[in-house]
C-alpha cells in the first residue's frame, strides 16, 4: 500500500470490506429518523412520501381557488357553493417521491489522507443513501475517475426502499480509487480518464426527474471545478457540493510535514519540489483558504450549497448535527 | 586579530563553499511524497518564489550547518590569532626602550611610589613571555626569544633562547638610562642574530623575525630605518598622550677671559606639551639657590615651530673664583623629573702656565707673551729633559716645543705638548723633505681651527711624515700630514710638521688664532667640561694626578664604586647612563684629605623631553600603529574553531538522521 499521507501514523479508518463496515446498525437506527430536505420541492414520477409543489391529488388540503371553465368538477367544494352560490375549487397538495443522486469522486486523489478521504466518502454516501432509501426516495449513485475503471463513470440507478441498502453497500465497496503505481508510464494515458467536467456533463444530460444531487469530492481539479458544477447547477437539481479534505490537507503544519520533499501528484505524477518552511506553510494555508472561499462564492452564486468536510470528523456528528445545520437533512 | 595564513583559508573557502551551494541547487536530496494534488502546493510555491529567489537555500538548516562547518574550517586554516601577545613559534625579538623618556611616570597611578614606563614595559614584556611559555594542550612551540635593550646604543640582554627563566631574568636586568633613543643599532643587532650564512659563506639567509617593540615611540633615528620584507613589528606603545613635561634643554657656563673669577650662565628651557607651560627657572650654585627668574618663563607648546620653542634664560655674571657645580632647574613637577634640572661643574679660575722649549723663535715667543698666561717660562732642551724627574710633567700646563726630538733613550713623559717640526715621539716617522706644500684639507670643526683658515698657507719646506692610526690628522697637504693630534699614554700632543718660519704662516691671521686655540685646547684637557657637561652615553675622560690612589666615583644616585685607572693620570669611565652630578675622589701623596673633582651629565635633549607617546611609527613605507599596553596572550584560535566545527558536524549529522527517518 503506498503511503497516502505525510505522516507515518497508522490509518484511522480501515478499508471497508463489508457493508457493515460502511454503516453500522446503531447509525442506521438513528438515520431512520432523518429525511433529506430539498429547498426546492420537485415533482416526482410516482406518488411518494414527499409534498410536491404541484397541487394535486392527496388528502392534505392546500387552498381554494376560483373555478374556471374546464376544471374537474370533482374538486368543487359544494358546501361553499351552497352557502355563497359561487364555485370554488379545493386544491390539495400532491405528495411525490424525490430523486436523490449521489456523485462520488473515485479519483486517485481521494485515496489519500488519514483518515482516508475515500473511505470517509464511502461511509458518507452510504449514510446519505440509506436516508434516501428509508424515505422512499429514488436514489442513484454515480462514481467517476476510478483508476481501476479507467476513470469512467459507474452507475447504480433508481434504488428505492430500505431493502436495497445491501445492494447499494456492495456497489460502494466495489469502488477503488487506489492510484496506479505505474503512474510514470501511464502519465500519457492518464489524460484519457474521464474528467470531472465530463462526468458532470454526462450526469446532467442523463438526468431523470428532479431531485437532490450530492457531490462528494475533494474538488482539487487542476482543470477547475467551475465548468463541471455549471452543468448541474439550476438544471432541476438542488445541488450540494460536499468538499472532503483530509486533516493533512487542511493544516499540514500540524501533521509533521517538514524537510525537503518531492511532492508527487498521485493522479498525474506531477512533481513539485518543496522545502517546507514556515513561509511556505503560511502561503499554503492562504492558498487553501482562498481556494475554498472562491468555491463557496461560486456555489452560492449558482444556488449550490457548498459544505467543507474534514475527513477526520465523526460520521454521527456530521450527519446528525452538521449537515442538519447546513439544511441538507431534517 | 591577525591571520597567519589568510590565503590558505581564503583558498579553502573559495574552493569548497561555492561548490557546496551549487551541489545543493543541483542535487538536493528530496524525499518523494505522493500527495493528493500538487495544485495548492504549486500555487504556494509560486507565491514564495515571487518573493524570494533563493527560497530553496533559505532556512535550509542542513546547508546552513554545512556552510558553517566549511567557514569554520576555512577560518581555522587561516590561523587567526588574538593580538597583543607574542607570536608562538619562530623567532621573536623583544626590543625594550630604556632611554630617558621611558623614565616618565605618566602611567603610574600614584605619585608616592611612582612606576616608570620602563617598569610597565618590563612587566608587559614579562607577562607576554609568561603567556608564551604557558603552553597548554594546544600550546605548541614557544620559539626563540631574544631581548635587546636600547637607548643611544643597543645591548643584547639575552641572545636567542627558549629558556623562560633566562629571558625573564634578562628583562629584569634592563636598567633605566637617561640617554637618547636610537633604534638603528638594536635593529642591526637583531638582524645579525637572525641572519645566518651557509657553510660556504656564499648566501645569507635571514629567518623571519617578529619584532616586539616596547617604547614610547620617541626614537631619533626612526626615519632612517625600514623594516625588511620578512620582518614584522608590533609596537607596544607606552605612555599616555596626556604626559606632561618641560625641561632644561641647554646649559653653558663660561668664565670670561678678562675676569676669570666671574661666571656667566646660559640656559634654555622648552616643553614637549602641546600647550604652553609656565615655570620659574632657578639657578643654584653648589646647591644654594642664588637666582630665580623675576617672573615665570612661558614655554610655547609643540604647536609652534621647533626653532621658536626654546626659551633662553641668561643670568647675570656672578663671582665664583672657586670650583662649583652650577644647576639650572625648573620650579615645577612633571612626569619626567630628570630633565627638570641640568648642572655643570666649573673648574676653579685658573690661568695657564706655559713652558717654551727649544730654539726660542721670535714669532712664537712674542705671540705667547701677548697671551694672558699665568706664567711663561723659557727653557732649553737640556733643562726640559732634566726637569722630567724634578718637576714632573705636571709642572706646566702646556709645553711648546720647537724642533724638538728627545735625546737618545729618552721618551716624552705624560703631559700636554704643542710641537713645531722635529720628531717629539717615535710614532712620527719622517720620510723626506718636501717643498712648496699647500694645505689640501683641514678638520674645520676641531677646536684648534676655530677662526683659522689655512687656505693661504704656503709651506716652503717641510718634513713629510707618516703616522699610524693613533693620530688624528687635522690638516694635510698632498704630500702628507701637516698638523696631527695624538692622545695616548697621558701624552697629549699637537704636532705641526713644519717650522712656521719656513712658511708664510706667521704673516697670516690664522697663526695668531691657532696658537691660543692650541694652548687652550691642550690645557683645557679634562677641564673642558665647563662648557656643556657630558651627556648620557658619553664617556667621561680626563686627567688626574699620576700618583692618585684609592680612586672612587660617586654616582648621582649615591652609590660609590672604586676605579682602577687604565693608565696612571688618566681617568676614563663610561658610558654614562644616568644624568646628574658625579663626584670623583682620590688620595694624593703630598696633599692632605681626599681630593675631589665633580663632573655632570645632563639630558639636554629636545626630542627626549617630548615624552608624549608616538601613536604611529613610520618605518620606511610601513606604518605601525601603537597598541595600548594591554596584556593579552596571543594564542591561536584554530583549535577552538576546529572544536566548534566538530560540534556542528555532530549536530548536522543528528539533524540529517532525524530527517532521513521521516
Contacts of B304 (CB under 8 A, 6+ apart): none
Q: Measure the N-to-C terminal CA separation of chain B; round to a whole number of Å.
A: 44
DSSP letter string, B91-143: EEEEEEE-SGGGG--TT-S-SSS---HHHHHHHHHHHHHHHHT---TT-----
| pLDDT value for A181 | 56
Residue of A nearest to B39 (CA): A222
Q: Does residue B632 surpass a pLDDT of 50?
A: no
Alpha-carbon distance B38 to nearest alpha carbon in chain A (angstroms): 6
Alpha-carbon distance B43 to nearest alpha carbon in chain A (angstroms): 7
Q: Does residue B202 surpass a pLDDT of 80?
A: no
Q: Is the ipTM of this complex over 0.95?
A: no
Closest Cβ–Cβ partner in B30, B40, B55 for A287: B40
The dihedrals phi and psi of A52, each to the nearest 5 degrees, come to -105, 155
Alpha-carbon distance A246 to nearest alpha carbon in chain B (angstroms): 10
CA dist list (Å): B89 to B132, B135, B380, B418: 9, 11, 75, 62
Residues paired with A260 in a beta bridge:
A275
Task: Decide: residue B143, CB within 10 A, 0-12 exposed, 13-18 middle, 19+ buried.
Answer: middle
Residue of A nearest to B56 (CA): A275
Q: Does residue B662 surpass a pLDDT of 50?
A: no
Query: In this prediction, what percent of chain A has a pLDDT beyond 90?
Result: 15
Residue of A nearest to B24 (CA): A260
- Do the Cβ atoms of B426 and B466 come closer than 8 Å? no
Task: Decide: residue B113, CB within 10 A, 0-12 exposed, 13-18 middle, 19+ buried.
Answer: exposed
* CA dihedral over A195, A196, A201, A204, signed as positive or negative: positive
CATH architecture of B249-347: Sandwich (2.60)
Task: Decide: residue B661, CB within 10 A, 0-12 exposed, 13-18 middle, 19+ buried.
Answer: exposed
| pLDDT value for B77 | 84
Residues of A within 8 A of B43 (CB-CB) are 287
Residue of A nearest to B55 (CA): A275
Q: Does residue A3 surpass a pLDDT of 50?
A: no
What CA–CA distance (Å, rounded) separates B442 from B517? 15
Q: Does residue B200 surpass a pLDDT of 80?
A: no
Residues of B within 8 A of A284 (CB-CB) are 40-41, 44
Closest Cβ–Cβ partner in B29, B36, B659 for A220: B36
- Do the Cβ atoms of B535 and B577 come closer than 8 Å? no
Helix residue spans in chain A (DSSP H): 19-22, 25-31, 78-84, 117-134, 165-174, 183-190, 196-205, 226-232, 247-250, 278-301, 315-317, 323-325
CATH classification of B91-242+611-636 is 3.40.50.410, yes or no?
yes
The conformation of residue A174, written as its DSSP 8-state character, comes to H
What CA–CA distance (Å, rounded) separates A103 from A200? 9
Residue A135: pLDDT band with limits 50, 70, 90:
confident
Tell me the pLDDT tens digit for each residue of B315-366.
Answer: 888 888 777 888 899 988 888 888 888 888 887 766 788 888 877 678 888 8
- Across the interface, do B662 and A263 touch by the CB < 8 Å criterion? no
- Interfacial B residues in 15-44 facing A (CB < 8 Å): 28-44
Grid cell, residue A278, equals: 514556515
CATH class of the domain defined by B353-523? alpha beta
Residues of A within 8 A of B59 (CB-CB) are 275, 277-279
The bridge status of strand B591-601 relative to strand B311-314 is unpaired
Closest Cβ–Cβ partner in A2, A8, A286 for B34: A2
Instruction: Tell me the pTM.
Output: 0.49
Residues of A within 8 A of B662 (CB-CB) are 8, 256, 258-259
Highest mean pLDDT among A185-189, B201-205, B430-434: B430-434
Task: Decide: residue B46, CB within 10 A, 0-12 exposed, 13-18 middle, 19+ buried.
Answer: exposed
Residues of A within 8 A of B45 (CB-CB) are 272, 274, 280, 283
Average model confidence (pLDDT) for chain B?
Answer: 81
| pLDDT value for A288 | 92
The conformation of residue A136, written as its DSSP 8-state character, comes to T
Tell me the pLDDT tens digit for each residue of B471-503.
Answer: 999 998 988 899 999 988 778 899 999 988 889
Average pLDDT over residues B423-436: 87
Residue A45: pLDDT band with limits 50, 70, 90:
very low
Pick A70 or A215 by higher pLDDT.
A215
The bridge status of strand A271-275 relative to strand A260-265 is antiparallel
Residues paired with B377 in a beta bridge:
B355
- Across the interface, do B32 and A261 touch by the CB < 8 Å criterion? yes
Please count the residue pairs, one from chain A and one from chain B, whose beta carbons lie less than 8 angstroms apart: 112
Tell me the pLDDT tens digit for each residue of B502-518.
Answer: 899 989 989 988 998 88
Q: Does residue B103 surpass a pLDDT of 70?
A: yes
- The kind and range of the H/E element at B253 are strand B246-255
Residue B171: pLDDT band with limits 50, 70, 90:
very high
| pLDDT value for A241 | 92
In this structure, of A43-52, B116-125, B180-189, the range with the lowest mean pLDDT score is A43-52
Q: Does residue A73 surpass a pLDDT of 50?
A: yes
Highest mean pLDDT among B1-10, B201-210, B377-386: B377-386
Average pLDDT over residues B68-79: 86
The SS3 call for residue B75 is helix
**Which residue in B363, B355, B417 sits closest to B380, CA to CA?**
B355
Pick B192 or A189 by higher pLDDT.
B192
Residue A325: pLDDT band with limits 50, 70, 90:
confident
Residue B169: pLDDT band with limits 50, 70, 90:
very high
Could you tell me the maximum CA-CA distance found in chain A, to the nearest angstrom?
Answer: 88
DSSP letter string, B377-411: EEE-HHHHHHHHHHT-GGGSSEEEEEEE-PPTT--
Residues of A within 8 A of B30 (CB-CB) are 260-262, 273
Within an 8 Å CB–CB cutoff, is residue A271 touching chain B?
yes
Tell me the pLDDT tens digit for each residue of A188-230.
Answer: 444 445 688 888 888 888 876 678 899 999 998 888 889 889 8
What CA–CA distance (Å, rounded) separates A197 from A199? 5
Closest Cβ–Cβ partner in A2, A266, A283 for B48: A283
Which residue ranges form the domains of chain A, and what is each CATH number?
19-42+98-245+295-325 (3.40.50.410), 50-96 (no CATH)
Mutant choice from A218, A274, A289 vs B, greatest count of B C-beta within 10 A: A274
Residues of A within 8 A of B51 (CB-CB) are 279
| pLDDT value for B390 | 64
Alpha-carbon distance A59 to nearest alpha carbon in chain B (angstroms): 52
| pLDDT value for A289 | 93
In this structure, of A13-22, A281-290, B417-426, B637-646, the range with the lowest mean pLDDT score is A13-22
Grid cell, residue B33, equals: 511524497
Alpha-carbon distance A30 to nearest alpha carbon in chain B (angstroms): 33
Burial B447-466 (b: 16+ CB within 10 A, else e): ebbeebebeebebeebbbbe
Residue B149: pLDDT band with limits 50, 70, 90:
very high
| pLDDT value for A59 | 57
What CA–CA distance (Å, rounded) separates B221 from B297? 31
Q: Cell 705624560 identifies what position?
A: B414
How open is the CA angle B135-B137-B139, to the nearest 5 degrees? 35
Residue B520 gets the label, from left (phi > 0), alpha (psi -120 to 50) or beta, of: alpha
Tell me the pLDDT tens digit for each residue of B88-100.
Answer: 567 788 999 998 8
- Across the interface, do A264 and B40 touch by the CB < 8 Å criterion? no
| pLDDT value for A215 | 93
CA B21 to chain centroid = 59
How crowded is residue A32: how many other Cβ atoms within 10 Å of its Cβ?
A: 13
CA dist list (Å): B379 to B4, B398, B417: 80, 13, 14
- Across the interface, do B39 and A220 touch by the CB < 8 Å criterion? yes
Torsion, CA B352, CA B358, CA B360, CA B363, rounded to 10: -70
| pLDDT value for B138 | 44
Q: Give the CB-side neighbour count of residue B583, counting CA atoms within 13 A.
A: 14
- Interfacial B residues in 258-277 facing A (CB < 8 Å): none
Query: In this prediction, what percent of chain B has a pLDDT beyond 90?
Result: 7
Amino acid at each position: 500500500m503506498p503511503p497516502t499521507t505525510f505522516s507515518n501514523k497508522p490509518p484511522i479508518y480501515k478499508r471497508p470490506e463489508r457493508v457493515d463496515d460502511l454503516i453500522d446498525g446503531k447509525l442506521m437506527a438513528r438515520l431512520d429518523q432523518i429525511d433529506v430536505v430539498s429547498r426546492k420541492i420537485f415533482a416526482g414520477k410516482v406518488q411518494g412520501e414527499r409534498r410536491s409543489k404541484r397541487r394535486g391529488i392527496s388528502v392534505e388540503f392546500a387552498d381554494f381557488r376560483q373555478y374556471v371553465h374546464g376544471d374537474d368538477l370533482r374538486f368543487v367544494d359544494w358546501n361553499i357553493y351552497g352557502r355563497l352560490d359561487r364555485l370554488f375549487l379545493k386544491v390539495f397538495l400532491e405528495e411525490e417521491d424525490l430523486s436523490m443522486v449521489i456523485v462520488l469522486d473515485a479519483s486517485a486523489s481521494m485515496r489519500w489522507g488519514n483518515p482516508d478521504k475515500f473511505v470517509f466518502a464511502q461511509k458518507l454516501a452510504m449514510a446519505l443513501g440509506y436516508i434516501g432509501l428509508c424515505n422512499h426516495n429514488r436514489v442513484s449513485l454515480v462514481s467517476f475517475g476510478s483508476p481501476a475503471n479507467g476513470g469512467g463513470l459507474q452507475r447504480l440507478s433508481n434504488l428505492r426502499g430500505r431493502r436495497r441498502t445491501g445492494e447499494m453497500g456492495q456497489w460502494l465497496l466495489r469502488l477503488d480509487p487506489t492510484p496506479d503505481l505505474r503512474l510514470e508510464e501511464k502519465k500519457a494515458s492518464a489524460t484519457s480518464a474521464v474528467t470531472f467536467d465530463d462526468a458532470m456533463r454526462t450526469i446532467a444530460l442523463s438526468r431523470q426527474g428532479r431531485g437532490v444531487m450530492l457531490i462528494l469530492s475533494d474538488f482539487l481539479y487542476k482543470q477547475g471545478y467551475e465548468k463541471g458544477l455549471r452543468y448541474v447547477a439550476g438544471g432541476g437539481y438542488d445541488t450540494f457540493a460536499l468538499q472532503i479534505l483530509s486533516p493533512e490537507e487542511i493544516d499540514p503544519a500540524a501533521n509533521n510535514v517538514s524537510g525537503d520533499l518531492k511532492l508527487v501528484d498521485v493522479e498525474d505524477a506531477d512533481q513539485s519540489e518543496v522545502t517546507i518552511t514556515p513561509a511556505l506553510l503560511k502561503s499554503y494555508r492562504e492558498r487553501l483558504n482562498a481556494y475554498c472561499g472562491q468555491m463557496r462564492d461560486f456555489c452560492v452564486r449558482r444556488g449550490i450549497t457548498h459544505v467543507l468536510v474534514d475527513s477526520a470528523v465523526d460520521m454521527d456528528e456530521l450527519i446528525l448535527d452538521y449537515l442538519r445545520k447546513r439544511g441538507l437533512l431534517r | 586579530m591577525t591571520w597567519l595564513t589568510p590565503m590558505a583559508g581564503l583558498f579553502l573557502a573559495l574552493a569548497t563553499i561555492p561548490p557546496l551551494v551549487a551541489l545543493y541547487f543541483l542535487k538536493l536530496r528530496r524525499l518523494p511524497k505522493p500527495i493528493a494534488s500538487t495544485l495548492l502546493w504549486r500555487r504556494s510555491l509560486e507565491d514564495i518564489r515571487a518573493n524570494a529567489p533563493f527560497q530553496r537555500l533559505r532556512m535550509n538548516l542542513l546547508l546552513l550547518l554545512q556552510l558553517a562547518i566549511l567557514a569554520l574550517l576555512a577560518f581555522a586554516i587561516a590561523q587567526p590569532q588574538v593580538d597583543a601577545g607574542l607570536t608562538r613559534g619562530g623567532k621573536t625579538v623583544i626590543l625594550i626602550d630604556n632611554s630617558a623618556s621611558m623614565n616618565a611616570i605618566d602611567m603610574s597611578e600614584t605619585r608616592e611610589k611612582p612606576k616608570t614606563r620602563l617598569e610597565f614595559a618590563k612587566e608587559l614584556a614579562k607577562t607576554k613571555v609568561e603567556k608564551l611559555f604557558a603552553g597548554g594542550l594546544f600550546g605548541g612551540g614557544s620559539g626563540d626569544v631574544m631581548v635587546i635593550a636600547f637607548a643611544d646604543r643597543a645591548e643584547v640582554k639575552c641572545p636567542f633562547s627558549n629558556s623562560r627563566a633566562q629571558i625573564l631574568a634578562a628583562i629584569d636586568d634592563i636598567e633605566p638610562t637617561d640617554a637618547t633613543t636610537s633604534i638603528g643599532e638594536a635593529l642591526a643587532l637583531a638582524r645579525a642574530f637572525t641572519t645566518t650564512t651557509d657553510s660556504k659563506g656564499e648566501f645569507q639567509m635571514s629567518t623571519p623575525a617578529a619584532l616586539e617593540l616596547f617604547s614610547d615611540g620617541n626614537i631619533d633615528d626612526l626615519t632612517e630605518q625600514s623594516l625588511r620584507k620578512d620582518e614584522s613589528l608590533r609596537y607596544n606603545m607606552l605612555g599616555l598622550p596626556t604626559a606632561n613635561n618641560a625641561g632644561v634643554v641647554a646649559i653653558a657656563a663660561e668664565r670670561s677671559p678678562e675676569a676669570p673669577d666671574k661666571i656667566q650662565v646660559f640656559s634654555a628651557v622648552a616643553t614637549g606639551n602641546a600647550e604652553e607651560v609656565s615655570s620659574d627657572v632657578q639657578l643654584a650654585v653648589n646647591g644654594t639657590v642664588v637666582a630665580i627668574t623675576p617672573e615665570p618663563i612661558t614655554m610655547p607648546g609643540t604647536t609652534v615651530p621647533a626653532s621658536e620653542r626654546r626659551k633662553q634664560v641668561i643670568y647675570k655674571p656672578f663671582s665664583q673664583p672657586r670650583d662649583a657645580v652650577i644647576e639650572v632647574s625648573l620650579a615645577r613637577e612633571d612626569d619626567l623629573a630628570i630633565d627638570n634640572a641640568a648642572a655643570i661643574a666649573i673648574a676653579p679660575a685658573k690661568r695657564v702656565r706655559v713652558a717654551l722649549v727649544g730654539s726660542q723663535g721670535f714669532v712664537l715667543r712674542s705671540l705667547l707673551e701677548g697671551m694672558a698666561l699665568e706664567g711663561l717660562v723659557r727653557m732649553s732642551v737640556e733643562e726640559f729633559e732634566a726637569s722630567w724627574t724634578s718637576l714632573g710633567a705636571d709642572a706646566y700646563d702646556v709645553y711648546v716645543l720647537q724642533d724638538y726630538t728627545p735625546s737618545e733613550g729618552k721618551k716624552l713623559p705624560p703631559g700636554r705638548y704643542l710641537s713645531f717640526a722635529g720628531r717629539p715621539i717615535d710614532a712620527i716617522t719622517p720620510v723626506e723633505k718636501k717643498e712648496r706644500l699647500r694645505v689640501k684639507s683641514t678638520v674645520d670643526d676641531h677646536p684648534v681651527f676655530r677662526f683659522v683658515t689655512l687656505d693661504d698657507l704656503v709651506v716652503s719646506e717641510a718634513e713629510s711624515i707618516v703616522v699610524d692610526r693613533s693620530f688624528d690628522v687635522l690638516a694635510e697637504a698632498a704630500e702628507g700630514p701637516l698638523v696631527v693630534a695624538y692622545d695616548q699614554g697621558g701624552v697629549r700632543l699637537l704636532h705641526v710638521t713644519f717650522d712656521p718660519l719656513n712658511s708664510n704662516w706667521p704673516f697670516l691671521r690664522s697663526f695668531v688664532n691657532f696658537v691660543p686655540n692650541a694652548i687652550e685646547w691642550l690645557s683645557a684637557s679634562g677641564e673642558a667640561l665647563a662648557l656643556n657637561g657630558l651627556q648620557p652615553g658619553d664617556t667621561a675622560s680626563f686627567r688626574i694626578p699620576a700618583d692618585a690612589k684609592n680612586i672612587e666615583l660617586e654616582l648621582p644616585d649615591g652609590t660609590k664604586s672604586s676605579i682602577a685607572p687604565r693608565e696612571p693620570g688618566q681617568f676614563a669611565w663610561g658610558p654614562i647612563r644616568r644624568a646628574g652630578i658625579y663626584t670623583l675622589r682620590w688620595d694624593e701623596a703630598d696633599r692632605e684629605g681626599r681630593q675631589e673633582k665633580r663632573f655632570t651629565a645632563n639630558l639636554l635633549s629636545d626630542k627626549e623631553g617630548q615624552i608624549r607617546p608616538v601613536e604611529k611609527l613610520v618605518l620606511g613605507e610601513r606604518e605601525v600603529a601603537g597598541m595600548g599596553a594591554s596584556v593579552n596572550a596571543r594564542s591561536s584560535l584554530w583549535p577552538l574553531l576546529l572544536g566548534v566545527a566538530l560540534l556542528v558536524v555532530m549536530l548536522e549529522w543528528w539533524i540529517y538522521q532525524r530527517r532521513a527517518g521521516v
